[in-house]
Each structure stands twice: as structure tokens, then as C-alpha cells.
Chains A and B, each alone.
Chain A
Amino acid sequence: MKKFIIFVAALLLSCVPVMAVGAEGAQTAGGVPLWLCIPFAGLLLCIAVFPLVRPLWWEKYQAWIVAFWSLVFLIPFGLTNGAGMAAETALECIVNDYLPFIVLLFGLFCVAGNITLEGDLAGSPRINVALLLFGTLLSSWVGTTGASMLMVRPLIKMNSWRKRKRHIMVFFIFLISNIGGCLTPIGDPPLLMGFSRGVPFFWSLRLFPLMLFNTVILLFVFYWLDMRAYRMDIAAGMKPDISKPGTQVRIRGLHNLVFLVMIVAAVILSGTLPTLPAFQTAEGEVLGLVLPGGVRLTVPSVIEMTIILVAAFLSFRTTDASVRKENHFTWGAIEEVAVLFVGIFITMQPALLLLKTYGASLGLDSPMELFWATGALSSFLDNTPTYLVFLTTACALNFTEGVATTLGTVPTAMLSAVSCGAVFMGANTYIGNAPNFMVKAISDENGIRMPSFFGYLLWSLLFLGPVFLLDALIFFR
């Protein structure tokens, strides 16, 4: 565990070159010096600081900043490992990680944007708790991104009469965008990765008590916070328009649920197809188009993206534009996420390479250690490779009892710890999980003053920290 703490500390402080130089033995990993993590830290710092100090400037030059930090990583990486290696790393990360990620996000963003809830249902603590609970339970069946995109606008709309509502969106991210996705491989990409490595599809249902425990605590806290804010709003004279007797709720664009199902099916296919012999070469590799540098764009991935894009296209063609207008549908949120995450995906490569190299030698051999290690790194890095690294670590411990995967046998407690760490702690930061930033961007566009990057971190430390501590003490001791 000590090694892990040193590893995380070095990763986080890697923006201080002096430290990196001094950290003997951890300076390189497969040709990756530790200081190459500086661009990642720099980009995160920009995302955290610029929207606060120079919002207009940030909005205008966001793409340039992203390009700058990406080059700050790629150029030195190219100089130390060769231009070919740098190009291959960038291509690999864009084709295999970023592209499926952004296409899925885009598809769900489009389809959910074509469904609108009309009516005069007024947001109150009771309703909000019910909606958060519903969304949390839905997350495992349509994915955290799907549930987030589907629920975010109705929730914003119902609470539009209120002034104090940022806490609603923060808890939305905690519960719907993250914790709710732990029950099935559809819920969150790390679990899908586990499924494709042989973890049974319904195995994650065992995590239900954990999810329930976290959800109940967070919803209690949320209710208290929301009631306080609600009362303050009423005291300040805010009130919903309920002048007409009776509520008329109407959902327009409901047929888009078909396209949502299409997208969910595409995600499941992307996890199952690579394991089928029909999609494998004689050498056992997944069939695909080989790009320069040996980067492979796999057929299952192409199938997944095609289905998602077709679903998005059909959704647009079959839905009246007035639905999107009513939803205040703009490309701003997805554009921001697309721009920022291409940089995040590229600049996080050194950190992931370091993790792959040192992950197994960190000496993590108990569920609690695995829970915190997977979680802490999933908060900042892509949680799918993080999950895979620690699953591999757990499988390499030569246990004979537990869940049999293609990587080896892993005890149930350890698999639970890795799964929960990866899924739950994605909620710790805006960049921890794909929908987090989308929810923030959509809220920002619709009159909700969301916390800054560090502000959100404070929220998660304050409310999620104690809950995760309880998780560790009760379930992973």
C-alpha cells in the first residue's frame, strides 16, 4: 500500500519536474519518464482554473490549450521514443479509446436530446429524491451515460423555478452518472471490460447491497440538503407556476427510446463480439482494419459505432425540431466534452503506461487496498484501463477460488473491490466518468451555476469520502 501511495503522490505531483528527477527507480516505465505526466496535470489544472479566472478566454481558446498540452506530451515522447512510437500511441488512443467513447456519448446525447418532458410538475425534495432513485436504478440498464442524458433535462426543467439547485446536479452526478452503473456490464465501461474478460454478465448484481447502501445514505443527505435549499427558495419568494389545477405531463419524442435500446444493444455487442471466433483471426486477435503502426480498428468497434451513429441519425430524422428547441438542445456541451477529452485521453497515456508497468508490483493484495487504489486512480484516469490493470493484478495473485476469468481466478471480494472502486469513484471528479462533464456542461448551459473543478472535488470529498470510507470498512475489510 505504501508503494501505491508513493505512486499516486508521484503521479499527482509530477508537474514538479524536480520531484520526478529525484524519484529514482520510478523515472521510466517502458520508455516513459515520470515527467511526461506533466502535460496531463497541466491540462487538468487549466480545466480547473481557467473557467474561474478567464471564462471567456477559456471558452475561446479551449481547443488551442488542449492542442498545446497534447503536443507538450507528444513532442518529448517522440524525441525520447521515436516519432513513430508517438504517432502510434496517439493513434491507438484516439482510435481505440477516444473514438468509441465520444461516439457513444454523441449518440446518447442526440437521442436523449430528442425526448422532452412537458408539463408543470414542480421540483421539490420529494420529487427530486424519487427521480434520483429512479435514475440510479436505471443506470445499470441503459448505462450511466444513457441514464444521465435521459434524466438531466427533465430534472433541470422541473427545478427551473428554483434558485438553489446546483446540489441537485452534483448528487445527480454522484448517483446516476456513477454509482447507479455498478449492477451490470451495460452500466459502466469497466464492467463491460470485465464481462469481455470472462466475468459472468449477472455477476455484478452481487454489488446491489453496496449500491443500495451508498444510495440510501446519499439520498438521505441529499433530501436534507435539498429541503434546506427548497425552504430558502420559498422564503425568498420563489414559487412554481401551478396556477392550473392538475398536472399535465406529456413526453414528446418517446419513440426515441427505440434508438436508446439500439445504442445499449450496440454497447453489449462491443463487449460480446470480440469473444466470438467469427470475429477473431487464426492467431486469436480480434478482426479489424490494421492502421499504420499496427493500430487495429476492430470490426466489433466499427459495428458498435455504426449502430450508434445510425440511431442518432434516425433519431434526428424522426423527431420534430420543436422538441430540441424545447430541450434547449445545442451542440455546446458535446463540443466541449469532445475537445477536452481528446486532450485528456492523449495526455493521460504516460500515467496509464506507468500504471500498467507498476500496477502489478504495487503489492496490493487485499480488497480494501484494491478498492482505494482502483478508485483513487479512476477519479482522474480512464476507469476502464485502471480496472483492467487492477483486475490483472488481482488475478495474478494465484488464487484458486473465486470468479474464473480469462486473466485468472479472482476472489469475489477482490473483484467487488476493483469493480466498486472503478465505478463509484469515477464520481470524485468531473473527469472521472464520461457523463460527469456532460451533466456539468448541460447544467451550465441552462442557468445552473455548477461548482468549479476544485469546488466539485470539495463536494465529493465532503459527501462521497465518508460514504466510501464506510464502504471500505464494512464491505472490503
Chain B
Amino acid sequence: MKEDSKQLIELAGRIYDLDTEVYRVLGSGLGRVFSGSRDARVRDMVHYMTAQPDGHVLRSEIALIGNMARTIPDKAERSRLMREYDAILKQVEALPNSFAAGDILDEGLASLNSSAQLSGRFGEGNHLIICIGRTYGSAGTDIGFALADTLKINYYDSEIFTEVLERLEADKEDVMDRASFAHKQNLNQSIDVKDRSFREKLREFNRYHGLPKEDAVFFNQSDLLHEMAQREDFVIMGRCADVILTNQRIPHISIFINAPFELRARRVMETDELSYKNACKLLRQLDRRHRKYYQFYTGRQWGNSVNYDLCINSASYGIEGSVKLIERIINQHTKR
């Protein structure tokens, strides 16, 4: 099984490299078959090779590379790449019917997300990255902060957003940080509705590359996280970081912290000095906003236990207990 998987990854890598090479030789600016990071696309291809109902998709996509390769004006280059194309095609056609059998283990996911594999997850040169998703009022933010302090690593929440704004040369007043629990007083008010002149709209269009600004912020956040993951250990709160890092094949630990609604409401009444009714209303609105945000950018369900390595009911352990629990698991498996 492991051997098969290695071969498939190698084959997928060759396909990706061929696409890259064809694109480079053509010098075209119109795009390619496998856009995106190598790791992510290789993983997709391996999935296509093993998932039979989708097997034809890969064949069609390889054919598209062939289409492009055939248009290369330089004869020698065309012949070189077509030879590689033919070799790949033969190898793909020779694939056995199924490589997937037996275990429920998703090896791709397991290498990133399964706590059972935690010990082998962080290899040489990988940094310890802990992604914490949490509901408001569950003390998740406090747990994340205390954990970073205990592990003596950096803690990031809205700092990421500020950095992204700097990159985009945007003003804080213009964009709402939808990933954080900030702006909780203005949940029904969108910054977008503010009247703007045509000139301002045009400037905004230019600044965000024609994208909706929330999406531009998200894409920049993804880039920033990727860069940070190359240079330091850290705890990151929310921002779909778990999925962003999974997509970029960056090892990390994902944790979701929740607590019973009643307890969260009681905590919010204290911390935000709200009535019980208003605290419940705020929690419901924030949960809805976060669910929507997470689902929009990841296609996954926020808080669904299958998406995380570890889900903690903070009410069972408290802030200190939760930190100790996480620390124990990390130390046990990563031998820090």
C-alpha cells in the first residue's frame, strides 16, 4: 500500500512538473491545467488515481497538457515534452483498478490531522503550529494565549489582520475583520454599506485586484500564514488557519474549543457586562457569523469534530486544565 502510494505521488509529481514545464516553454500568460501549489495538486491527482469514479477526470486533464504541449513552436522542446507526456500517459493507463482498500485511514489527512500520527508529524525543519478554533465565551482565546505562553511560542489573532492590511495598504476602517470576535457590537452593520464615491470604489477595486475585499484579505492571510509557518512556531486563533495549512501541506495541530451555551452566556454576561438576553443574542449572532465565514472559505462545517485533531469542552477542564491537557498531548507526541 505504502509502495503504491509512493509511486502514485511520484507519478502525480511528474504530471505536475510536465504541466509546469509546458507552461514555461510556451511562455503563455493564460493559465495552465494544474494551477496552485505543487503539493495540493499532487494530492488531488493521487485522489483521482485512487478514486475510480473520478479517474477519467485525471485522464482528461492530462490530455489538456498534451493539447498545450502540441502547440510548442520549438520542435526539439515539443518532442522532448511529448515524449514525457506519452510516457506519463502509458503509466496512467497502466494503473490498476483500485489502490484503496481496507483501512479507513486517509493517509493524506492523517499525515496532517490525525492525533494518532502526531508523533511523526513534525519532521526536521517543521515548526510547531497550533490552530485553535473556538466559540465566543468558551474561553478559547484565553486558552490559546495561555498555551502560547506555556510553550513559549508566539500567539497571533488580530495581529494577522493588521499585517494583512499593511500589505494591502488598506485602512482598518475600510475592512471588517470577519474572522475575529472584534466588531461584535456592530454585527448588523456592514462597513460595505457606507456611501462611497465612484473614485473611492475604483481605488478599492484596484487595491483588492477586483476581488471582494474580504476575499482579498483571506488570500493575503493565507500567504502570510504560509510565510510565518516557514520561520516560527506559533498559536493561531481562528482564521480558517487549520484548512489553509492543510491545503498548503504544512503540518499543524488543529483544536476546537467549545463549551455549553448556558455557560458561555454566563461568561459573556460577566466579561461584556450584558444582560442574559443580550448575551444569548450576541452569542447566536457570533456563532452564525463564524459558521458562515468558515463554511464560505473552507467548504467545511465549523465546529464539526471530524475537522479537528482535538475538540475540547472547556467547561470540563477550565482554562488551566485545557492548557495542561493540550500541552501534555503535544509533549507526549512531539517530544518537545
Contact = CB atoms under 8 A, between A and B. Distances in A.
Contact of A124 (B26, B40, B44, B211): B211
Given A242-B216, A247-B206, A328-B71, A237 B36 contact: yes
Nearest to A237: B247
A234 interface: yes
A235 B30 contact: no
Chain B interface size range? 35 or more
Interface string B278-295: 000000000000000000
Nearest to B35: A161
B216 A156 contact: no
Contacts of B299: 231-232, 235-236
B69 to A, nearest CB: 11
Contacts of A238: 35-36, 40
A447 B32 contact: yes
A126 B215 CA distance: 12
Interface residues of A, number: 46
B220 interface: yes
A240 B33 contact: no
Given A55-B63, A237-B248, A446-B31, A161 B36 contact: yes
A130 to B, nearest CB: 9
B39 to A, nearest CB: 9
Contact of B35 (A118, A124, A163, A327): A163
B243 interface: yes
B68 interface: yes
A247 B209 contact: yes
Contact of B169 (A163, A240, A245, A444): A245
A156 B29 CA distance: 9
Given A161-B35, A232-B299, A327 B29 contact: yes
B168 interface: yes
A126 B212 contact: yes
A326 to B, nearest CB: 5
Interface in A432-467: 444-449
A159 B211 CA distance: 12
B296 interface: yes
B6 interface: no
B12 interface: no
Interface of B is mostly: helix
A133 to B, nearest CB: 14
Given A122-B209, A124-B211, A246-B169, A162 B35 contact: yes
Interface string B146-182: 0000000000000000000001110000000000000
Contacts of B296: 231, 234
A445 B215 CA distance: 29
Nearest to B39: A237
Given A238-B35, A242-B216, A325 B209 contact: no
B64 interface: yes
Contacts of B300: 235
Given A156-B31, A237-B40, A446-B30, A332 B297 contact: no
A55 B56 CA distance: 13
Interface string A325-343: 1111010100000000000
B24 interface: no
Contact of A236 (B26, B30, B40, B60): B40
A45 to B, nearest CB: 20
Contacts of B205: 247
Interface in B234-263: 243-244, 246-248
- Sorted nearest first, the 4 A-B pairs with minimum C-beta distance are A160-B31, A237-B247, A328-B28, A235-B299
Given A118-B29, A234-B215, A332-B70, 19 more contacts: A55-B63, A122-B209, A124-B211, A126-B211, A157-B29, A163-B36, A234-B297, A240-B209, A242-B220, A247-B210, A326-B27, A326-B28, A328-B30, A328-B68, A330-B71, A445-B68, A446-B31, A447-B31, A448-B64
